[in-house]
Amino acid sequence: MLSQQHIDTVKATIPLLASAGTAITEHFYQRMFSHNPELKDVFNMTHQRTGGQPAALFNAIAAYATHIDNLEVLTSAVMRIAHKHTSFNIQPNQYDIVGHHLIETLRELAPDAFTQDVEEAWGAAYGQLAGIFIKVEGDLYAERAAQLGGWKDFRRFRVASKTPESDLVTSFVFEPVDGGAVIDYQPGQYLGVKLHPKGNEFDEIRQYSLSTTPNGKNYRISVKREGAGDIAGVMSNYLHDHLNVGDEVDAMPPAGDFVFQDKQTPVVLISGGVGLTPMQAILNTLAKQQYRQPVSYLHACAQPSQHSFKDHVNSLKDQLNLSVHTWYEQADSAEEGVSNGMMQLEAIKDSLPLTNGEFYLCGPVGFMMFVKQQLLTLGVEADRIHYELFGPHQDV
């Protein structure tokens, strides 16, 4: 239990954190990977190079320091991070390593300000935070292991099928090598997948949204080929170019807090690019359940050749009260239900359940910020807007 003195001391360091910014977390990661290179098997090194992960960690540390006397404010953030941690198979002993390097980072970057009292306060504060995550993640691990088809640690899967969905997206179906059942998941969740690409020094772990209805037998993910040249996505390009039927990967049980909430109200699913993958799981599940409320699916992508699952989504109109509208940024189309350019909701606002619908967003950060602002302007309350972010967390 933190003392009031600990709380006051941590909050007093907030200006120091703000002035240092992401230099703190950049130094932290450099230090940790230098002393504990085995953790490169766990962390996404691409996000280290782009700066996304150091920025996300800094924001989390700053939020914790700001709300250390009212942790309920951070409940949703803790759950989101804990779900992501379990997809990496993070273990309690790794928190000791992180804590050590965090304290040493603060000492090295601010030797004058990092007094004995500050060190004691931050040590206690980190211990409290680590304890919260260890408890939440332990509960998630145990809950999944206890369910039918559940398991702990990584489990071996074999590629049962590999199907191109568009110019950029390919679907992979994984079935367990042991022949057993697999745990069900909530539509919107993702699968933590681990493999060791040929030529890589370390393992790679990525999270991919599950893109269809759970069936207890296998999992499907749909992966976009990311980037090209020096900025090519290591994992996505390896999956597209080298992972074939019969090959094997390791996977953790499904995780994620972006899930469909069945409130028996109208639903609007909005996706940009490969953000359509969790929407496929939600749409397919709604169709299977014969959901009776109106469902709107709004999707934006660059051009028709990159539009995955188009025909499948349209086929669901026979099973759902479903309306579909698409925007192509780089193509002119006269097709019904298709607009050209950026997604503009003002033009279709009369068809949207602005006063009582639940809105689900997934896509690039800039896209979601753009769409969310439109929804707020049209009168949709923020608590009816739910979103999923691929990669390190940012506020939308």
**According to the annotation, is 140 in a ligand binding site?**
no
| Distance separating alpha carbons of residues 26 and 70, to the nearest angstrom | 27
Beta bridge partners of residue 272, listed in sequence order: 300
**According to the annotation, is 307 in a ligand binding site?**
no
Q: What is the 3-state secondary structure (H, E, C) of 172-241?
A: EEEEECCCCCCCCCCCCCEEEEEECCCCCCCCEEEEEEECCCCCCCCEEEEEECCCCHHHCCHHHHHHHH
**According to the annotation, is 285 in a ligand binding site?**
no
**According to the annotation, is 273 in a ligand binding site?**
yes
Residue 137 appears among annotated catalytic residues: yes
- Which residue among the candidates 137, 165, 358, 388 is catalytic per the annotation? 137
Residue 300, both tokens: 């934006």
**According to the annotation, is 272 in a ligand binding site?**
no
**According to the annotation, is 16 in a ligand binding site?**
no
**According to the annotation, is 86 in a ligand binding site?**
no
**According to the annotation, is 168 in a ligand binding site?**
no
Is there a contact between 188 and 260 (Cβ–Cβ < 8 Å)? yes
Is there a contact between 269 and 282 (Cβ–Cβ < 8 Å)? yes
- Which residue among the candidates 29, 64, 95, 387 is catalytic per the annotation? 95
Rg (CA), the chain: 22
**According to the annotation, is 392 in a ligand binding site?**
yes
Residue 387 appears among annotated catalytic residues: no
**According to the annotation, is 209 in a ligand binding site?**
yes
Give CA angle at 391 (388, 396), nearest 5°: 45
Residue 334, C-beta contacts closer than 8 angstroms, at least 6 positions apart: none
**According to the annotation, is 278 in a ligand binding site?**
yes
**According to the annotation, is 164 in a ligand binding site?**
no
**According to the annotation, is 52 in a ligand binding site?**
no
**According to the annotation, is 85 in a ligand binding site?**
yes
Of 244, 174, 241, 250, the C-alpha closest to 210 is 174
**According to the annotation, is 328 in a ligand binding site?**
no
| Distance separating alpha carbons of residues 29 and 15, to the nearest angstrom | 21
- Strands 190-195 and 204-209, by their bridges, are antiparallel
* Residue 323, SS3 per DSSP: strand
Query: Could you tell me which residues are annotated as the binding site for NADP(+)?
Result: 273-278
Query: Could you tell me which residues are annotated as the binding site?
Result: 85, 190, 206-209, 273-278, 389-392
Query: Could you tell me which residues are annotated as the binding site for heme b?
Result: 85
Residues annotated as part of the active site: 95, 137
Query: Could you tell me which residues are annotated as the binding site for FAD?
Result: 190, 206-209, 389-392
